[in-house]
């Protein structure tokens, strides 16, 4: 994953579109100006400061070639943390503070693409299939949901014909990832976004595929585990010259903040990538749900809201 600068914006909700039972799309644009929105690529997301709730992350699912508007889609969860309920209560003209875009789920440049979406996990895949279609690539989408009524964008996907396969559970249609991914396909990348069981099944089903074939986007973090072998360690913020000890049960991010350093951060769960930080010395212990195995092996960066140290000392570029 690449470290990127992000932009802070104040955008207006100009249109609200019901997409399915429980899913609304919000169309956003710069209010009172003709300024173009920042460039973004398929797989990107933005951070929305939800009034009275805090930051939440949503995939951009409009056309990247449209620099006037952005579209995000929100699944209402009455048992969630309040962000989706609050956004379902906004109205045209509402202003939202936004940071981004950031892309932790970039589209592979392979000749073939298999896109797998579960529920609201369809959102980052929409711009991917549009780009693949525009470039004449060989692509297919497998889209699974509890019911057709709950599955957003079915009418938007209909023109693609049999390149899109729908698995609506209430119709007795179930996606069998073990069968779909049984045979590796040359020069194919698999992009999967959806609930954790789907992502876990995709990892198991592609274990025999070439390394790097599978790319995942998580909406929920892998549960954090405090290991009995955890121990305190030192972190030096090289640019700031501040050193702090990170105790067991405390994150690097929290320890740095307590010492007066304010790294950019958001989710504090290891899934958004906002606090990804270059490592100058020492070996990090990666506990995020974001970096690939290849990125972890380099130990060049780490996600400091959940990661720890495998050495007595880490020097970070902060």
255-272 pLDDT, tens digit per residue, is 999 999 999 888 888 888
Average pLDDT of the chain is 92
101: cis peptide before it, omega within 30°? yes
List, for residues 84-133, the tens digit of each pLDDT value.
999 999 999 999 999 999 999 999 999 999 999 999 999 999 999 999 99
The pLDDT confidence band at residue 82, using thresholds 50, 70 and 90, is confident
pLDDT at 227: 61
**pTM greater than 0.75 (yes/no):** yes
Q: Which of 165, 8, 203 is nearest to 96 (CA)?
A: 8
Q: What ranges do the domains of the chain cover? A: 7-102, 112-217, 233-316
- Residue 3 in this model has a pLDDT that exceeds 60: no
List, for residues 271-299, the tens digit of each pLDDT value.
888 899 999 999 999 998 888 888 899 99
* Token output for 131: 């780009």
pLDDT at 4: 54
* Token output for 55: 């930051």
**Taking every pair of C-alpha atoms in the chain, what is the biggest distance, in angstroms?**
61
pLDDT at 265: 85
- Residue 165 in this model has a pLDDT that exceeds 60: yes
pLDDT at 5: 59
Q: Which of 74, 53, 72, 51 is nearest to 62 (CA)?
A: 72
71-86: average pLDDT: 92
Instruction: Give the total residue count for the chain.
Output: 318
pLDDT at 222: 62
In 288-312, which positions are buried (b, 16+ CB within 10 angstroms) versus exposed (e)? bbbbeeebbeeeebbbbbbbbbeee
- For the domain bounded by 233-316, which CATH number is listed? 3.10.20.30
* Token output for 6: 């992000």
112-217 belongs to which CATH class? Answer: alpha beta
Q: Domain 7-102 in CATH: superfamily?
A: Translation factors (2.40.30.10)
Note whether 312 and 285 are within 8 A (CB).
Answer: no
List, for residues 167-205, the tens digit of each pLDDT value.
999 999 999 999 999 999 999 999 999 999 999 999 999
């Amino acid at each position: 994953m690449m470290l990127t600068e992000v932009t802070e914006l104040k955008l207006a909700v100009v249109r609200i579109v019901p997409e399915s039972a429980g899913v609304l799309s919000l169309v956003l644009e710069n209010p009172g100006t003709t300024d173009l929105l920042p460039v973004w690529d398929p797989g990107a997301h933005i951070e929305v400061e939800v009034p009275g709730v805090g930051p939440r992350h949503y995939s951009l699912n409009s056309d990247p070639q449209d620099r006037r508007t952005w579209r995000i889609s929100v699944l209402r969860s009455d048992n969630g943390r309040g962000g989706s309920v609050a956004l379902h209560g906004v109205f045209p003209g509402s202003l939202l503070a936004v940071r981004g875009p950031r892309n932790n789920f970039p589209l592979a440049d392979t000749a073939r693409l298999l896109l797998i979406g579960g529920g609201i996990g369809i959102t980052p895949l929409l711009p991917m299939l549009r780009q693949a279609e525009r470039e004449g690539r060989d692509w297919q989408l497998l889209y699974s949901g509890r019911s057709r009524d709950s599955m957003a964008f079915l009418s938007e996907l209909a023109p693609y014909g049999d390149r899109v396969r729908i698995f609506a559970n209430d119709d007795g249609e179930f996606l069998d990832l073990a069968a779909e991914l049984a045979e590796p396909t040359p020069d194919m990348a698999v992009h999967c976004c959806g609930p954790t069981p789907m992502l876990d099944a995709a990892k198991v089903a592609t274990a025999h595929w070439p390394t790097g074939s599978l790319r995942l986007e998580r909406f929920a973090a892998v549960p954090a585990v405090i290991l009995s072998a955890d121990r305190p360690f030192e972190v030096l913020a090289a640019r700031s010259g501040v050193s702090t000890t990170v105790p067991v049960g405390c994150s690097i991010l929290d320890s740095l903040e307590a010492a007066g350093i304010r790294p950019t951060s958001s989710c504090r769960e290891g899934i958004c990538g906002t606090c990804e930080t270059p490592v100058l010395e020492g070996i990090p212990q990666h506990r995020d749900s974001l970096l690939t195995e290849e990125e972890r092996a380099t130990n060049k960066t780490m996600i400091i809201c959940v990661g720890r140290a495998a050495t007595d000392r880490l020097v970070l570029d902060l």
